[in-house]
Structure 1
Amino acid sequence: MRTIKFKPPSTGDGPHLLLGAGAVAAGAGLVLALTHAGSPLRGPLTLFFLLAAPGSAFAAALRGLDPGARFLVSGAGAVCVVVLVAQTMLATHHWSADGGVVAVGALTAAAFLLQLALRKGRHKLR
């Protein structure tokens, strides 16, 4: 007769759950900002999206750094992206909150797609 053993819960799932929760919160911030919802969470979650989206793109590009430096550099890069988007929109007299959120999201998506294309190109060369 065979004994059925249950696998103990993995202790390495914590960071993955935290990343998933952050992605859900950022997505909720994007949706709340673009739908002009009257929720009190609209401001904090939108700010979280504006910092987490470009920050995660920088962090994905900087895989070679240790975690502390990666966090610091990606956070600084995220702030720079948001400030540059705001300054560009103000300088061209096209400022809008929706436009800023969309512009940051588009730049983040472009950065992720560029990284994906570069990684596929490196794999083809090997």
Structure 2
Amino acid sequence: MQDLLPLLAGAAVAVGGVGAVLALVDLGSPLRAPFTLFFLLAAPGAAIGTALRALTPWGRAVVAVSGALAVNLLVAQGMLALHVWSMRGGVVAVAALSSLIALPSAARRLRHRGAKWWTC
């Protein structure tokens, strides 16, 4: 089972990436809607999940799913309130917010890895 986890993570990243690209290119594919929906839920969920490493796995999953829904709803609400709704803009906004959420934990991980490397 542990050997299968990196493969599943890679497949999830690939499906999310394809969904984002299909939404940005506006390609008329039957896979565009489900892959884009997967990206819109998985990107903020993964970012929130990596930021909350101290929680138990079930607690982290619940918070990540709830946070992903909240990010998507806030992006949609903000875009509708400003009268700038577009599918491409929504995907870009969710990707940007997900990146901003994941940035502090990635920086912390890199800083910790650099400190380990220098002390060895």
Which residue of structure 1 aligns with residue 23 of structure 2? 33
Shift of 1:125: 8.6
Q: 1:120 to 1:19 in 2, by over 3 A?
A: closer
Which residue of structure 1 aligns with residue 97 of structure 2? 107
Measured in 1, the distance between the counterparts of 2:46 and 2:27 equals: 25
Identity value in percent: 51
Measured in 2, the distance between the counterparts of 1:65 and 1:88 equals: 30
Measured in 2, the distance between the counterparts of 1:37 and 1:125 equals: 45
Moved over 3 A (4+): 118-126
Which residue of structure 2 aligns with residue 85 of structure 1? 75
Larger relative contact order (Cα-Cα within 8 Å, sequence gap ≥ 6): 2
- Over the aligned positions, Cα root-mean-square deviation in angstroms equals 1.8
Which residue of structure 2 aligns with residue 62 of structure 1? 52
What is the aligned residue count?
116
Shift of 1:112: 1.7
Which residue of structure 2 aligns with residue 51 of structure 1? 41
The yes-or-no answer on 1:19 pairing with 2:20 is no
Which residue of structure 1 aligns with residue 65 of structure 2? 75
Consecutive unaligned residues of structure 2, counting only runs of 5 or more, are none
Which structure shows the bigger proportion of residues in helix conformation? Answer: 2
TM-score of the superposition, structure 1-length normalised? Answer: 0.84
Consecutive unaligned residues of structure 1, counting only runs of 5 or more, are 1-10
Q: Which structure's CA Rg is the greater one?
A: 1
Mean Cα deviation higher: 115-124 or 29-38:
115-124
Measured in 2, the distance between the counterparts of 1:86 and 1:66 equals: 30
TM-score of the superposition, structure 2-length normalised? Answer: 0.88
Letter of the structure 1 residue corresponding to residue 97 of structure 2: L
Instruction: Give per-residue Cα distances to partners, 1:28-61, cap 9 Å, x unaligned.
Output: 0000000111110000000000000000001001
